[in-house]
Structure 1
Amino acid sequence: MLVAACEKKSIQIFDPLTHQKIQSVNDAHSDCVNCVKFLDARMFATCSDDTTIALWDVRNLKKKIRTLLGHSKWVKNIEFSVKDKLLVTSGLDGSIYTWDINSYTEYNLVYQKVFHTSSLMRCRLSPDARQMVMCTTGGLLIIIHDLNLSTLAQDLHGFKPNLYRLMQMSQQMIPIAAMYDHLFDSSRKENRVEFVADFPEDNDAEVVSALQIHPQGWSALSRNISHDDRSEWTCIHDIQPLESERGVARDSCRAPPRCAPSPAPAHAPASPPRRAPPRRLPARARLRPLARTHSRSQLLDGISPASRSRAESEPEPEPGPSSAASSVPAEEQLAAPAPAPAAPPAARLVASMSSIQNDVWEASITVKQNRMLQEFYSSSMLAPSTSGHTSRDITTEDGPAPRRYADRFIRQNKERLLYYIEETNEGKGFIKELCYSADGRLVCSPFGRGMRLLALNEDCSELPHCVQDLNRPRLMVDVGQSLGIHQDLVVSSRFSPRYHMLVTGCLEGKILWYQPYSGEALY
């Protein structure tokens, strides 16, 4: 079964083998439908810009099983943890909720907000639900290793990724951010946090708009937009726990880890980040799709159609809705930013601060307080540590040395980038959802009015066979390109998890099926 999420508030159900429409559910939601996720062979969930999630049974589509209320803004993504039997949803309100679909109450399911961060775009789970990966409008991937959804809210309570990232880029200790340093500790057994922010040299990633996880959980596939809105890139990052973090030998099929610099003391000079800090796109249309019309719809093979960003009416520009296609159980992802001229260090910091303006005021206050404390304790030759304990005086030939926050470190992110490629920037303002094939060997990337197939090498080898001697990120290989097939911009794609079949959807509302031997697209 193929379920398409449409901009015109409906969902369409197709037989993927005959390409015939089985049923149409009009007014499935009161606004654009963004994502479809199958929970098992008969039940699936949809989410919408109307801030709700709906549960459906394919045997009776005349009525929803249940409508879930909790999000305050557009809901963009749905995941399902088979391990925990929990539905995981995320939206442009920056919140991630879990829903216990087996615990009905009179009005709703039992649900919990497990995390919140401003600028959230997508949230994905690995197939075994051992990892959660998030992407943001600040050019950042956030990985939660050894995921425990039942304790996530408690473990990450008060943690602000944007604030910690600001501390990393500024190399200025911010006590309110440094107090969450323990979340990055490799000794943590559950809910360990890792930041991924390395992108190609010419790619100043601003908005990481699309995200998918490898079918084996080996890597994250993403697509990003440069800060000047002039280019888009697709990237593949390694997301597996490193050997040193696990304390055990790596699996033979695991990609080799990246060498990462050790944490630098807060008072020590640190090497500059690999790429320029991202800058906020202008408010004119930062992921703002074309004006919505009733004649324009987006069918998505199970993931979101293009919803329209109402950024102009918001006090802070919101990234626009995305469109994507997702067939019953397949998972996919890919993304990358476009090259942009590097800004001077001072401008980079200012720009990065503007992209996380929700936390800037708080950060500026804490930076000022930190400097005042350092000056005070320097004069008294005694400085407190962030843990609340004073550090001992260090005596030198010139006398006692000034004290600093010596027991805290500003964590340095590991280099995780494996593969990348630049994309066409046609259709600015729309999110293009990429996908992995069922075996993870191919990536389908929307490319203008068509799509192209990408692989790690010309033999379409699996990831473990391609990264044995990889000392630096490499370009992906274009193994198949199909241009001009659709009459409008392609915004979603999905491989069938069972058959040799690929589906793409465009803004015009058309779905195309591709089969490997015919060499032609089938309507």
Structure 2
Amino acid sequence: MAANILEGDVLKNSKRICSNNSSAFNKSHILEILNNRPIGNVKKRLGFSDNLIFNLYNSFDSVQQSNYHFDKYWGGIFNLEFSLDGKLVVAACEGKQILLFDAANHKQLKVVENAHQNCVNCVRFLNEQTFATSSDDTLIKLWDVRNIKSAVVTLHGHTNWVKNIEWSEQEQVMVTSAFDGTIYAWNLANITETNMLFDKVFLMKGLMRMKLTPDGTKMIIATTTGYMIIIHDLNLLTLATDLKYFQPNLYRLMQMSDQSFPVATPYNHLFNPHRKRNRIEFIDDFPNEAEAISSLQIHPHGWSAVSRNLNGSENEEWTTVHDIQDRDPKDYENAYVIIEDINTDDDSDEFNNRRPTDLWMGYISIDDYNNFNRSRQEDQNIYENVQIPSMGIVSSGLIGLSASYSTYFQHHPEEKNKIIRNLPRMTHYIKEKSLGKGFIKELCFSSDGRIICSPYDKGVRLLAFNEYCHELSMCVPEIPQQLKTIVEMNDYHRDIVVSCKFSPTHYQLVSGCLGSDIKWYQPVL
């Protein structure tokens, strides 16, 4: 059996709800397989593997070793990460610590006090020995598990809370994102305090989270304004150049207002389905009025992205699964709309005396917009601190913002009033409990991609794409379906759960809460 079953007692005061939507193990058939296996006569009935995996996940429960306890309060456990071989677990703590555990016996191996100057947000293993951490102190640190007394190196660059660390195997670089709206790519082959191979590869206002697919061919970006961005055929070497001056929020505003902006439509070519590198696509179909997409994880095969979002009132949270795979270019042939021009031939006094409609009223001012562009063109450090104000007025281009746009549209008249539409990509969803306001709840996929673990009040629940825990490729719905709850484990923690992580090698799960404790789960048969 693939599961790594450890000895332990089930917590007696827990509340556990199991799904009854699948048939139980056929124990006689299992005994038959075990008896025949020594003579090489093993015949598995159709669906045996799926049924076995379902029962493994359905039997998940919390286990506690007798020699394991917390003797200190670390604050919230904001992130958990297994080593690549599944032997170690590192916890990122609100109290500035990082904790190292043995995944086999749950024993705490090491505590690094003041690992950062502020709460630790993220942990990511880059190889068997090295992991990186990021913090609200804007720093990224690299650590060696063989000597964890101090960081190997500290990297400076971001100017706000660093929330994501990714490793691009394809480019052999570490990629990070922060609430300053920047994405950096770092060259770790020749580490110094300031050495960066690609420098700043992307910048946008409202960037929340960033993830790479396992093969490094796609970057997924979650925002604070209710949409996500897929960058297909990712090329980090050219990303900064290819997306230079592209402002996703302005393009998204154009989509929502159904009015073309001359400063946005020249970037329609970035959405072209035949584009060979750094092709842009937006995702905006959610089951609710999503605003801040706070948590983001990628399927281990790169098939889908699971996210957790809040609405504008912060009283609803939803978990949503979106397909992020390449689609047939024919699907995009009619994914656009043409906006009609204002009739400038109208000679009436009413038209001549009327100021042209200003499409971006209430978003940014002309002066601030020009200052923003000037800072961007100069590419100085001040650029990172430039913030677009939320009130004011800006020219829509009908008044005339730049002669360069007129020149562009003379050569590309078909793009002047064309707005790209977004294809539906949502496959599954489920509503969550809206608790722990102000804290991000980190989701995770199981290593086989069949299960999503979601923080749920003071516990977790295991969600599947259908009631049989089939792989996503075997149960792709025609229309979005609700995720199925396989196991719900309530009241296992002392406070709201905000992080969870599956082992990459075993049937093992770990979760952490705002109350500083960590719980371990595995099949209990």
TM range (shorter): 0.7 to 0.9
Structure 2 CA distance, aligned partners of 1:351 and 1:458? 47
After superposition, the Cα gap between the structure-2 partners of 1:389 and 1:111, relative to the gap in structure 1 and judged at 3 Å, is: closer
Verify: 1:13 aligned to 2:100, yes or no: yes
Q: AA paired with 2:327?
A: L
1:440 match: 449
1:495 match: 502
Structure 2 CA distance, aligned partners of 1:461 and 1:352? 46
Structure 2 CA distance, aligned partners of 1:162 and 1:460? 37
Structure 1 CA distance, aligned partners of 2:185 and 2:92? 22
Shift of residue 440 of structure 1? 0.6
Q: AA paired with 2:206?
A: S
Structure 2 CA distance, aligned partners of 1:208 and 1:95? 17
1:243 match: 328
Structure 2 CA distance, aligned partners of 1:236 and 1:213? 10
Residue 433 of structure 2: which of 424, 428, 433 is its match? 424
Shift of residue 97 of structure 1? 0.1
1:166 match: 253
Shift of residue 227 of structure 1? 1.2
Gaps of 5+ in 2: 1-87, 343-359, 370-385
Q: Alpha-carbon deviations, 1:13-60, whole Å to 9, x = none?
A: 000110000111111111111100000000010001110000111111
TM-score normalised by length of structure 2:
0.72
Q: Is the 8 A contact 1:436 1:444 kept in 2?
A: yes
Verify: 1:213 aligned to 2:213, yes or no: no
After superposition, the Cα gap between the structure-2 partners of 1:465 and 1:219, relative to the gap in structure 1 and judged at 3 Å, is: same
After superposition, the Cα gap between the structure-2 partners of 1:353 and 1:451, relative to the gap in structure 1 and judged at 3 Å, is: farther
After superposition, the Cα gap between the structure-2 partners of 1:384 and 1:39, relative to the gap in structure 1 and judged at 3 Å, is: closer
Q: Alpha-carbon deviations, 1:396-442, whole Å to 9, x = none?
A: xxxxxxxxx76541000010110001001122221110110001100
Shift of residue 223 of structure 1? 0.2
After superposition, the Cα gap between the structure-2 partners of 1:406 and 1:123, relative to the gap in structure 1 and judged at 3 Å, is: closer
After superposition, the Cα gap between the structure-2 partners of 1:111 and 1:150, relative to the gap in structure 1 and judged at 3 Å, is: closer
Residue 137 of structure 1: which of 193, 217, 224 is its match? 224
Q: Is the 8 A contact 1:261 1:414 kept in 2?
A: no
Residue 267 of structure 1: which of 329, 335, 340 is its match? 340
After superposition, the Cα gap between the structure-2 partners of 1:191 and 1:110, relative to the gap in structure 1 and judged at 3 Å, is: closer
Q: Alpha-carbon deviations, 1:178-218, whole Å to 9, x = none?
A: 12111111121000000000111xx1001100000000000
Structure 1 CA distance, aligned partners of 2:263 and 2:393? 11
Task: Determine helix, strand or coil for the equivalent of 1:515.
Answer: strand
1:458 match: 467
Paired-residue identity, %:
47
Verify: 1:117 aligned to 2:204, yes or no: yes
After superposition, the Cα gap between the structure-2 partners of 1:53 and 1:228, relative to the gap in structure 1 and judged at 3 Å, is: same
Who wins on radius of gyration, i.e. which is larger?
Answer: 2
1:281 match: none
Q: Is the 8 A contact 2:120 2:136 kept in 1?
A: yes
Q: AA paired with 1:365?
A: V
Q: Is the 8 A contact 1:46 1:54 kept in 2?
A: yes
Shift of residue 388 of structure 1? 3.3
Verify: 1:504 aligned to 2:511, yes or no: yes
2:141 match: 54
Task: Determine helix, strand or coil for the equivalent of 1:183.
Answer: helix
Shift of residue 264 of structure 1? 1.1
Structure 2 CA distance, aligned partners of 1:408 and 1:130? 31
Shift of residue 267 of structure 1? 2.0
Q: Is the 8 A contact 2:265 2:416 kept in 1?
A: no
After superposition, the Cα gap between the structure-2 partners of 1:417 and 1:486, relative to the gap in structure 1 and judged at 3 Å, is: same
Shift of residue 131 of structure 1? 0.1
Q: Alpha-carbon deviations, 1:133-176, whole Å to 9, x = none?
A: 00010011000000000000000111111000001111111111
2:11 match: none
Task: Note the 1:246-325 alignment, pairs <5 A.
Answer: 261-267=334-340
Q: Is the 8 A contact 2:362 2:393 kept in 1?
A: no
Q: Is the 8 A contact 1:432 1:446 kept in 2?
A: yes
Q: AA paired with 1:99?
A: W
1:128 match: 215
Q: AA paired with 1:100?
A: N
Gaps of 5+ in 1: 246-257, 270-348, 375-382, 392-404, 519-523
Structure 2 CA distance, aligned partners of 1:50 and 1:262? 42
Residue 319 of structure 2: which of 234, 241, 255 is its match? 234
Structure 1 CA distance, aligned partners of 2:423 and 2:193? 47
Verify: 1:475 aligned to 2:475, yes or no: no
Structure 2 CA distance, aligned partners of 1:474 and 1:155? 36
After superposition, the Cα gap between the structure-2 partners of 1:240 and 1:390, relative to the gap in structure 1 and judged at 3 Å, is: closer
Shift of residue 385 of structure 1? 7.2
Q: Alpha-carbon deviations, 1:429-480, whole Å to 9, x = none?
A: 211101100011001000000111101111001111111xx32111111111
Shift of residue 491 of structure 1? 0.3
Q: Is the 8 A contact 2:177 2:209 kept in 1?
A: yes
Q: Alpha-carbon deviations, 1:345-366, whole Å to 9, x = none?
A: xxxx989999x99557899533
Q: AA paired with 1:432?
A: K
After superposition, the Cα gap between the structure-2 partners of 1:406 and 1:182, relative to the gap in structure 1 and judged at 3 Å, is: closer
Q: AA paired with 2:484?
A: V
Q: AA paired with 2:265?
A: A
After superposition, the Cα gap between the structure-2 partners of 1:406 and 1:8, relative to the gap in structure 1 and judged at 3 Å, is: closer
Residue 269 of structure 2: which of 157, 165, 182 is its match? 182
Count of paired positions: 402
After superposition, the Cα gap between the structure-2 partners of 1:363 and 1:240, relative to the gap in structure 1 and judged at 3 Å, is: farther
Q: Alpha-carbon deviations, 1:213-237, whole Å to 9, x = none?
A: 0000000000000111111000000
Residue 394 of structure 2: which of 354, 365, 371 is its match? 365
Structure 1 CA distance, aligned partners of 2:250 and 2:215? 30
Structure 1 CA distance, aligned partners of 2:136 and 2:229? 24
Task: Determine helix, strand or coil for the equivalent of 1:388.
Answer: helix
After superposition, the Cα gap between the structure-2 partners of 1:229 and 1:106, relative to the gap in structure 1 and judged at 3 Å, is: closer
Structure 2 CA distance, aligned partners of 1:149 and 1:501? 34
After superposition, the Cα gap between the structure-2 partners of 1:406 and 1:267, relative to the gap in structure 1 and judged at 3 Å, is: farther
Q: AA paired with 1:210?
A: S
Q: AA paired with 2:323?
A: D
Structure 2 CA distance, aligned partners of 1:137 and 1:217? 23
After superposition, the Cα gap between the structure-2 partners of 1:182 and 1:111, relative to the gap in structure 1 and judged at 3 Å, is: closer
After superposition, the Cα gap between the structure-2 partners of 1:390 and 1:157, relative to the gap in structure 1 and judged at 3 Å, is: closer
Task: Determine helix, strand or coil for the equivalent of 1:230.
Answer: coil
Task: Determine helix, strand or coil for the equivalent of 2:264.
Answer: helix
Q: AA paired with 1:266?
A: I
Q: CA RMSD in A?
A: 2.9
Task: Determine helix, strand or coil for the equivalent of 1:169.
Answer: helix
